[in-house]
Structure 1
Amino acid sequence: NINREFRELDVPTDVLSFPMVDYEAPADYGILESDDALAMYFNPESGELLLGDIVISVERAFEQAENYGHSIKREICFLTAHSMLHLLGYDHMEDEERIVMEKKQEEILNALGIKRDC
């Protein structure tokens, strides 16, 4: 339902990202240094940066974990890493972007010790 409402795609999906920051380039934090950034992107009570929201379909995650032959933990970690990269301005619509994003996903999962057989 969320995919249909926000992306006008009437198909199930595994994860959706709703970034709050409009990066000019992936992970280019220069935009956060503007005078308006404090009001737009930071929680006024805590001062924490608000990157956006992530919605993971646990049902799809279980299906994909089974289809790919790895654990639900690995699948949820992958979807979280993937979505966090979107919140940081990365995308995978073009091949060049996809290659960068896939490399970063693997780096994140490897740093956390999350392997395909986990």
Structure 2
Amino acid sequence: MTSYVENETGVEFPFSIEDIVNQIMTEVLDREGCPYEATVSVLLTDNEGIRTFNKEYRGFDKETDVLSFPNVDYETPSDFAILEETADCFDPDSGELVLGDIIISVEKVKEQAESYGHSQRREFAFLVAHSMFHLCGYDHMEAEEAAVMEKKQEEILDRLHITRDES
């Protein structure tokens, strides 16, 4: 598994961003049964930066906490078998599955951690897990979909002992 993390803000956290990304990425892809080595790119930006991306790519002129840009269009979430029919989602040099991109607002990580009363580490890990499930084809537009995604996110965080009560 390969993750590319770019922090354009210079904001530092009291934990290793790369370690959290790699732990979450590994847990999600193992749990979802991904048979491939995979690549994910993560960009850390500020509220204005994520607002710009949100406006340009989604048509919403507002800040958000995380954006996910899947490289694969799954008919069924985590149906990696469909990928055998196409080579354009694999990096030609490494052979890794290019899952997509994640953009996170560092300001939202800090704001939401304080608002929810848990650590920045927990909030950051939650946003990465949430986005990883989007990159695997999950969504939360319908209540049933949201319930499935929420359960999966919590299972990953629990498995990694990244809990709401850590401060």
Scaled by the length of structure 1, the TM-score of the pair is: 0.95
Greater helix share, 1 or 2? 1
Unmatched 5+ stretches in structure 2: 1-51
Q: What do you get for the CA RMSD once the two structures are aligned?
A: 0.6
In the alignment, which of 62, 66, 81 is matched to residue 30 of structure 1?
81
Q: Does 1:59 align with 2:107?
A: yes
Question: CA-to-partner distance for each residue in 1:17-50, whole Å, 9 max, x for gaps?
Answer: 000001011101121110xx22x11111111110
Question: CA-to-partner distance for each residue in 1:51-92, whole Å, 9 max, x for gaps?
Answer: 000000011110000000011000000000000000000000
Q: Does 1:115 align with 2:147?
A: no
Scaled by the length of structure 2, the TM-score of the pair is: 0.68
In the alignment, which of 118, 138, 157 is matched to residue 70 of structure 1?
118
Number of equivalent positions? 115
Structure 2 counterpart of 1:92: 140
Structure 2 counterpart of 1:50: 98
Matched AA of 2:68: S
SS of residue in 1 equivalent to 2:91:
coil
- Share of identical aligned residues, percent? 64
Greater strand share, 1 or 2? 2
- Quote how far apart the aligned CAs of 1:10 are: 1.0
Task: Map 1:11-30 onto structure 2 (within 5 A).
Answer: 11-30=62-81
